[in-house]
Amino acid sequence: MPVLFQRVNGQIVWIRNPFTGTHTYFNNIHKKIFSFRDKKPTPNLSRPTLSERQGPISPDIAMQLAYEEARCLFCPGHEERTTPELFRVTYGEIFDPPEMPDGMLPDAWAIRVFPNLIPRIPEECTGGLNESYVLVEDARHYVIDPRSPRDLQWSGQLPVKQFVALLRANVRAMHLAYANDTVRSVLIRKNQGAESGASQPHIHNQVIASNALFPDIETEMLITAREPHIWAECTDFIRQEGWVIHEEGSLVTCWSPFGKFPRCFDVIDLAHWGLLTEMSEDVIACFARALHRVLVLFGPSALDYEVHQGDGIPLHAHVNSRQFTYSNIGGTLNLPTDLTDKVQAIRRTLQGPAL
Ligand SMILES: [Zn+2]
Ligand SMILES: [Zn+2]
């Protein structure tokens, strides 16, 4: 079945998610007055850079920052506060000496992996073993030159080399999960910001394994088995509508009209299907770079992402931002009719004015 939609006077009015059957409607919500906030939502691109922030911080704030680090479970020096470490990746393993982040020692850990204290899928479901993993993405609690306890380190702020190393570490944790015979499905999950459900402020993500297929992935597998061309059809449609923000080889990065939240960006590798644990280092690195690009776009604001992989589906990620108005009515979303212009503006920002 092709992608179903209705177009009136050149403008898409609704589009149906071919996997779930839910509809997204386009209307003039950008013309609404949002009285709950003092300004209309704007992309994160205009966020002030760190260099624009001036002046020393007050002793009160400095104390507050130190206090937050002192009580953080994931900060260096507190390794005994987590479950036993499974493995670590040091800064020296990621960076050559000239590119070492300021103040970081080559032997110090950059990424640490341990079982989640509270498994997301109860151990009883996975043969009595905890198959939920936490990956601390960086030793640094805050960004450089923090001005408040909210200036937490965030994934898009990490050097891309470190993000590639992080995805590789995620894949290593997935190998540990797949060694358990009861495991049938594994995904990578990130919650950035308390508003997206993150329980710890220190930058981290999770690998979660289950004995049952995750329902979203099962749906993707079922529909893809019936309609193997559905991913190519969707990306063709998305490309036609001007919703692709970046494309390189088989990797398509786009705004998706099929997201769970209004601003969902997908990264899809149309050429690499199946288990991430069976993919080459190069494929993993290219995918990590594309995902990192989206995380840079959204900045430190609240978001979640999931990397979906499994038999019979292409490797892909869904990134959901929380910074835009979210109203789900009866399983439908609504979006502004001028969204294509906004996506095109992002594309130009990424690729230069010539495109
Ligand atoms: Zn910390
Ligand atoms: Zn998916």
Please state the φ and ψ torsions of residue 350, each to the nearest 5 degrees.
-75, -35
- Nearest bound ligand to CA 224? 2
Spatial CA neighbour of 269 closest among 328, 337, 317: 317
Please report which confidence band the pLDDT of residue 331 belongs to, taking 50, 70 and 90 as the band edges: confident
340 Cα to the center of ligand 1, angstroms: 39
Q: How confident is the model at residue 327 (pLDDT cuts 50, 70, 90)?
A: confident
DSSP annotation of 337 reads T
Across the range 86-97, mean pLDDT stands at: 98
CA of 323 to the centre of ligand 1 (A): 24
Token pair of 16 as six digits: 């149906």
Q: Which residues contact 310 (CB under 8 A, 6 or more apart)?
A: 185, 213, 217, 221, 274, 275
The predicted structure's pLDDT at residue 138: 98
Average pLDDT, the chain: 92
Residue 65: pLDDT over 80: yes
pLDDT for position 43? 47
Give the ligand whose atoms come closest to the C-alpha of residue 221.
Answer: 2
- pLDDT at residue number 46: 44
Ligand 1 centroid from CA 205, angstroms: 14
> Residue 54: its pLDDT value, please?
66
Query: What is residue 38's predicted lDDT score, i.e. its pLDDT?
Result: 57
Half-sphere exposure of 315 (CA within 13 A, CB side): 24
In this structure, which ligand is nearest to the CA of 314?
2
Ligand 2 centroid from CA 286, angstroms? 18
Stretch among 39-43, 253-257, 294-298 having the lowest mean pLDDT: 39-43
> What's the pLDDT band for 72 if we cut at 50, 70, 90?
very high
Q: Tens digits of per-residue pLDDT, 6-61? A: 999 999 999 999 999 999 999 887 777 776 665 554 444 444 455 546 678 899 99
Dist. CA 80–CA 75, nearest whole Å: 11
% of residues, the chain, pLDDT over 90: 81
